[in-house]
Structure 1
Amino acid sequence: MTVEDIQKAKAAIPFNREQLESVLRGRFFYGPSFDLYGGVAGLYDYGPPGCAFQANIVDIWRKHFILEEDMLEVDCTMLTPHDVLKTSGHVDKFSDWMCKDKKTGEIFRADHLVEEVLEARLKGDKEARGVVSEEVEESDDKKRRKKKVKQIKAVKLEDAVAKEYEEVLAKIDGYSGTELGDLMEKYKIGNPVTGDELEPPKAFNLMFETAIGPSGAMRGFLRPETAQGQFLNFNKLLEFNNGKTPFASASIGKSFRNEISPRAGLLRVREFLMAEIEHFLDPLDKSHPKFEEVKHIKLSFLPREVQEAGSTEPVVKTIGEAVESKMVDNETLGYFISRIYQFLTTIGVDETKLRFRQHMGNEMAHYATDCWDAELKTSYGWIECVGCADRSAYDLTVHANKTKEKLVVRQKLETPVEVTQWEIDLTKKLFGPKFRKDAPKVEAFLLNLSQEELEKNAALLKSDGKLTFTVPEVESEVELDDKFITIEKRTKVEHVREYIPNVIEPSFGIGRIIYAVFEHSYWSRPEDTARSVLSFPPLVAPTKVLLVPLSNHKDLAPVTAKISKVLRKEKIPFKVDDSGVSIGKRYSRNDELGTPFGVTIDFESVKDGSVTLRERDSTKQVRGSAEDIIKAIREITYNGVTWEEGTKNLEPFVTNIDSE
């Protein structure tokens, strides 16, 4: 069965999320954590097939990025001191907007609430007009609020109002807390079940706080991302790379976010696996030596301007065209966007359900100058699964300023250059008597003034004879005259260029990607909708081969043991199913596990060593020696060979076991 055939089969039978969830939980891909105690929202455990599937995806990610791009992998602690995340901006800015029911105290995430209510009203408008639209499964939150949704679903909207709703939904990721509050007031959005009034949105920091050490004196957090450990190890990584840039570090590990309202299974959880890359490069040269290899790749983009116009119609062009037109800022950012696309399609993402959406200005993370999200379409809508941001020099700069340690690249210049810039000199012996314990804070503040600030203050010092500053963490204003500081413009010859590198960061949410692949791979056989299939690419399938002895006859056992030994030696994951049910049922339940190949051992196998190989999606079968069959499995699974190419030397075999 070709990809086109599977797409036809999917189109013939509407997607059923409940049926998929039943398969995933029934076969223990994953399940709620602490289920015996009633579970905890946003926490899940992976079972055997889920663990294997995740491990395969991580392995491919490591080979696709770390090995192919020669990256430096690190594994940093999940516990992070308060000062680190205060410096990075997470303590102050890592928040979502929540609102509370004034009567019941129920908490809602503001942007999700606005989105769900407006979507429900638009759906009701279409039904009132008799417009048939594609059915989308409701999330847990939406089901819980079903009563209210039903009351509004048949209301016809004015054309202008419907258009306004659609424009708001196109921009939903870019609204501030105040703007979300205004929308709730304008569209009379309250508790969707009771209709009660909600408080205005407030910022809620998503980090889990903890204490490090028995005294509890050192505040800390469970890390919300893996990036900070990579930035703090920059000097060590640079030295390991012999002082050369550009280079990239990478990290794979757990991160934690205290979600306001966990929902949608693996898509919004409180503990999750991340894979992040920090590519350090010269801010004056953001080209990439391998960009030529990917510039032809055609992608679907949703740029900022399209969203601001209230549209979600993608722009399709090559990454080369996107970079040349400056829609995507630079080659390195474009290169990683393309590599993200290649990775996602390799592991089973449907490329027709993949787009790259640019962050809008007021949506941008505090550290980013540009950011594109790889979004995957699921029954929950378009879901951000990978972020690819240009973090500029923000992180290294703030950590260097805080710790007074230089986090820079030193580049020897072939031709010395003259550099003219403003410099400040401090008469430090006067600072201690004047400022006492605050002297280090004042000195640090002055030494970190920018060139623009130094130029401005030099003019003020010359005209007024003194300067006045407000220094953070110092109670009173600081007043200084020319006895304390001198600000002059000086020219000197430099033989070494010193710069703080910029960072391009691709950041992958592995759990979200896994769930999207589940949905994109799932379908039911048209002849029997109860027979579910997960069409994972063989490379990521939890188990590659199902060994199926025709019966429990003792003569078949030695052949099964012999083939098992060979598969084990070849490091090909397999399972033996010698249960008493029919072969058709055994294959069917392993189709649900995504197992791509089945090997049937029968009484002919005892005579001549031949076995039958079945392909999961098409149910086609071929026959040959066990050695040739295993070779075909290895070539198709690990070397990317097609079924037709891999089995061309094997004999077609016709049977009706799939109907048993």
Structure 2
Amino acid sequence: MSSVKEIKEAKKAVAFNRESLESVLKRRFFYAPAFELYGGVSGLYDYGPPGCAFQANVVDTWRKHFILEEDMLEVDCTMLTPYEVLKTSGHVDKFSDWMCKDPKTGEIFRADHLVEEVLESRLKGDQEARGLLKNANSEAEANAEKKKRKKKVKEIKVVKLDEKVAKEYEEVLAKIDGYSGQELGELMVKYDIRNPATNGELEAPRAFNLMFETAIGPSGQLKGYLRPETAQGQFLNFNKLLEFNNGKTPFASASIGKSFRNEISPRSGLLRVREFLMAEIEHFVDPENKAHPRFDEIKNISLKFLPREVQQSGSTVPIETTIGKAVASGMIDNQTLGYFIARIYLFLIKIGVDEDRLRFRQHMANEMAHYAADCWDAELQTSYGWIECVGCADRSAYDLSVHSKKTGEKLVVRQKLETPIEVTKWEIEVNKKLFGPKFRKDAPKVEAYLTNLDQQELASKAKELKETGKITFKVAGIDGEIELDDKFLTLERKTRTEHVREFTPNVIEPSFGIGRIIYSVLEHSFWCRPEDSARAVMSFTPAVAPTKVLLVPLSNNKELQPIVSKMSKSLRKQQIPFKVDDSGVSIGKRYARNDELGTPFGITIDFDSVKDESVTLRERDSTRQVRGSLDDIIKAVKEITYDGIPWDEATKNLTPFVSQSTD
């Protein structure tokens, strides 16, 4: 195979088989169930040597692509989070999925996944039935085969669906991410969805909070959780980050680390687990100006979009358009959100995602958080269907606002105005002489609550004070309702000249599930050679491949060892990861087992190498080979791996080599 087209055709020649992939991943220890000797625990996995290296390379590429290229501020925050933080952020009350239980067996299901799987299964059975009916009626078929097919049709005839029902199923599946718990329950009743194993009836869906609860400290009195995301640490450090950035906005922080979610029904390997690696960005931007200075660099990139209007119509056919047009039309809310969607796309392609199996799906109205202005998911198609791997949301000013209100600490940007402006707004003043005696130690809490009310809340309180002569409210940590009249405070609209504009920035948040991305790339990279379907290949891009080079001495002859040692020393010096395989099996077998590990290059050392210090370089996918000096070969490997130079260009000064014995 010499051309890109030939390699693409070869990759498609043998149909993808998930069992074959899983066999390779298990045998070569990319990852495995944790605690397997003790029977394992669902949703927990250990990474082996190639899996660790692959994950580290993906993270390294992510860090360079985002943190370094975008000049982001990286932080590493604690995984233990106090109750109050996650109560304020809304996770305690709202971070839930819908679960339903079989009262007889005690088995638990995640409601949306159950509905999805059952309807997909029925549709698949319907398609199979229609296909068999068509074939059974074909005059070209032999009579014996006809009888066999007709018998099979009778066996599965019960799953054949009415066309109207089949269409309904497809519409439900297109909108599956947007249903509430009540709506999921109604779907289960309407379509008679039961326990697939026992056919037993299930209870109505109810909310299940996904966070792992823990106690911080020996007393057990400080309640906490293992963090469900890395974002909160970035929000709480906003003032420090702003100061580090010399008070300038926009700017972005980033964090890479473990998060934890107590999944209802972990499944699909790395796609739904209880402990996983996240990489998250919080880009802080002026709410009045969400343009991006580098938008022109990406505006002509064309992507496949699945906007909410298309989903609501019951369709899953994406719209293909450029980022520039998507923002200009209002399909994507603003330039900064569009810019990050494009950068997400470029990152995924860089690490080996198949472009034909990537789309961006917009959140449905009732799926999106109430505070979000817009949200898109980068979804990757696998044998498990379309999988959400990256979320990119405009979270408005919600996070900084709620933490500021709770703590009384301002999380704002102060921007000096070139021209002073007159601003009329509500202001509140408290009578501190009366506050102290009335509230004693709670006085600071009450005052902080009042002074952190926003303009809309102050207007409401002013109206209440005018109409009733008092205001009533509750403050967290103080029992009962507080009642104050105009002796304790004044509420007035005042006009002032301001030289500084103070605002709470909005947040654009790209959030990456590294494990899901890794699994998707594993599927997208896996194929079998057409000439021998037992020969599996992992076509990792050189940048993320666990090992870059396999050194293969032709034999164990001692004459070859000095060249092997010299080559190894040179590769170490250039920091190119490599392995030496000097086992007694044939070179073809040695290359084949490293193709399974995704090693992009092989270097063969033979007896001509002893004479002139030349070696042969093999490319994994095409199996093409070239020959040259040690230095020239290492230079080519380095250029392809780390500089992104194509094979043909990097090897143009090397000599093509043909051998009948290596593959």
Q: How does 1:179-328 map to 2 (within 5 A)?
A: 179-328=183-332
CA distance in 1, matches of 2:480, 2:78: 39
Whole-angstrom CA distance in 1 between matches of 2:331 and 2:314: 18
- The 3-state SS of whatever aligns with 2:621 is coil
- Residue 95 of structure 1 is matched in structure 2 by 96
Q: Aligned equivalents of 2:4 and 2:352: distance in 1?
A: 11
Aligned pair in 2 of structure 1 residues 78, 275: CA closer, same or farther (>3 Å)? same
- 1:60 match: 61
CA contact (8 A) 1:32 1:39 kept: yes
In 2, the alpha carbon distance for the partners of 1:273 and 1:6 equals 33
Shift in Å, 1:465? 2.7
- Match among 542, 546, 549 for residue 550 of structure 2: 546
Write the deviation string for residues 496-551 of structure 1: whole angstroms up to 9, x where unpaired.
Answer: 11111111111111111111110001100000000000011111111111000000
* Alignment match, 2:70: 69
Task: Give the Cα–Cα distance (whole angstroms) in 1 for the partners of residues 157 and 329 of structure 2.
Answer: 43
SS in 1 for 2:420: strand
Matched, 1:17 2:18: yes
Shift of 1:131: 7.1
Contact 2:353-2:521 within 8 A present in 1 as well: yes
Q: Counterpart of 2:159 in 1: which secondary structure?
A: coil
The counterpart of 1:611, out of the listed 611, 615, 618, is 615
Q: Say yes or no: does 1:515 pair with 2:516.
A: no
User: Which shows bigger deviation, 217-226 or 481-490?
Assistant: 481-490
Deviation for aligned residue 1:177:
0.7
Shift of 1:79: 0.8
Separation in 2 of the partners of 1:573 and 1:167?
Answer: 49
Q: Offset at 1:432?
A: 5.0
Which whole-Å deviations, capped at 9, do the CAs of 1:182-217 have from their partners, x for residues lacking one? 111111111111111111111111111111111111
Structure 1 vs Structure 2: percent identity of aligned residues? 77
Is this contact kept in 2: 1:123–1:153, CA < 8 A? no
Give the distance between the partners of 2:476 and 2:35, measured in 1 at CA: 45
Alignment of 1:138-217 (within 5 A): 154-217=158-221
Report how many aligned residue pairs link the two structures.
Answer: 643
Q: Deviations over 1:406-452 (max 9, x none)?
A: 11111011111110011122224334555566655544443333323
**Residues 1:363 and 2:367 aligned together:** yes
Cα distance, 1:159 vs structure 2: 1.4
Which residue number in structure 2 is paired with residue 127 of structure 1? 128
User: In the alignment, residue 653 of structure 2 is paired with which amino acid?
Assistant: N
Q: CA deviation at 1:76?
A: 0.8
Matches of residues 428-507 of structure 1 in structure 2 within 5 Å? 428-434=432-438, 439-469=443-473, 476-507=480-511
Residue aligning to 1:380? 384
Q: 1:154 to 1:603 in 2, by over 3 A?
A: farther
**Counterpart of 1:555 in 2: which secondary structure?**
helix
Distance 2:181 2:249 in 1: 40
Rounded to whole Å, the distance in 2 between the matches of 1:258 and 1:151 is 40
For 1:599, the equivalent position in structure 2 comes to: 603
Does structure 1 conserve the Cα–Cα contact (< 8 Å) formed by 2:471 and 2:485? yes
| Inter-partner Cα distance in structure 1 for 2:352 and 2:125 | 34
Range moving further from structure 2, 378-387 or 188-197: 188-197
Cα separation, 1, equivalents of 2:88 and 2:221: 19
Cα pair 1:61 1:343 within 8 Å, conserved: yes
Report SS of the residue matched to 1:333.
helix
The amino acid across from 2:486 in the alignment is D
Contact 1:560 1:601 in 2 (8 A): yes
Q: Retained in 2: the 8 A contact 1:588–1:658? A: no
Quick check: 1:619–1:658 contact (8 Å CA) kept in 2?
no
Correspondent of 2:358 among 354, 358, 378: 354
Tell me if 1:650 matches 2:662: no
Match of 1:147 in 2: none
Letter in 2 for 1:627: D
Greater Cα shift, 414-423 or 448-457: 448-457
Matches of 1:607 and 1:561 in 2, distance apart?
Answer: 15
SS across alignment from 1:422: strand
Contact kept in structure 1, 2:408 and 2:449, CA below 8 Å: no
User: Which amino acid in the other structure matches residue 318 of structure 1?
Assistant: T
Structure 1 Cα separation of the partners of residues 185 and 431 of structure 2: 51
Residue 416 of structure 1, aligned match among 420, 424, 448: 420
- Taking the aligned partners of 1:466 and 1:19, their CA distance within structure 2 comes to 72
Per-residue Cα deviation, 1:109-138 (whole angstroms, up to 9, x for no partner): 0000000011111111112222799xxxxx
Indicate which of 328, 333, 342 corresponds to 1:329. 333
Shift of 1:382: 0.3
Give 1:35-54 correspondences, 5 Å limit.
Answer: 35-54=36-55
Counterpart residue type for residue 111 of structure 1: D
- Give the aligned partner of residue 572 of structure 1: 576
1:555 and 2:556 are equivalent in the alignment: no
- Asked if the contact 1:523–1:533 (Cα under 8 Å) also holds between the matched residues in 2, the reply is yes
Task: Please report how far the alpha carbon of residue 9 of structure 1 lies from its aligned counterpart in structure 2 after TM superposition.
Answer: 2.2
Structure 1: state its 5+ residue gaps. 134-149
The one-letter code sitting in structure 1 at the alignment partner of 2:31 is Y
Quote the Cα distance in structure 2 between the aligned partners of 1:279 and 1:539.
Answer: 27
What's the secondary structure of 1:86's corresponding residue? helix
Residues 596 and 132 of structure 1: CA distance in aligned 2, closer, same or farther (over 3 Å): farther
The alpha-carbon deviation at position 174 of structure 1 amounts to: 0.7
Tell me the distance in 1 between the aligned counterparts of 2:37 and 2:57. Answer: 29
Q: TM-score, normalised by structure 2?
A: 0.94
TM-score calculated relative to the size of structure 1 = 0.95
- Answering whether residue 635 of structure 2 is matched by residue 634 of structure 1, we say no
Does 1:407 pair with 2:407? no
Post-superposition offset of 1:281: 0.9
Give the secondary structure class of the aligned counterpart of 1:363: coil
Retained in 2: the 8 A contact 1:525–1:533?
yes
The SS at the match of 1:341 is helix
Structure 1 residue 11 displacement after superposition: 2.5
CA deviation digits over 1:32-70, x for unaligned, max 9?
111111111111111111111111111111111111111
| TM-fit CA distance, 1:650 | 1.1
- Report what 1:145 is aligned to: none
- Letter of the structure 2 residue corresponding to residue 416 of structure 1: P
Q: Distance in 2 between matches of 1:613 and 1:468?
A: 79
Asked whether the 8 Å contact 1:120–1:152 carries over to 2, the reply is no
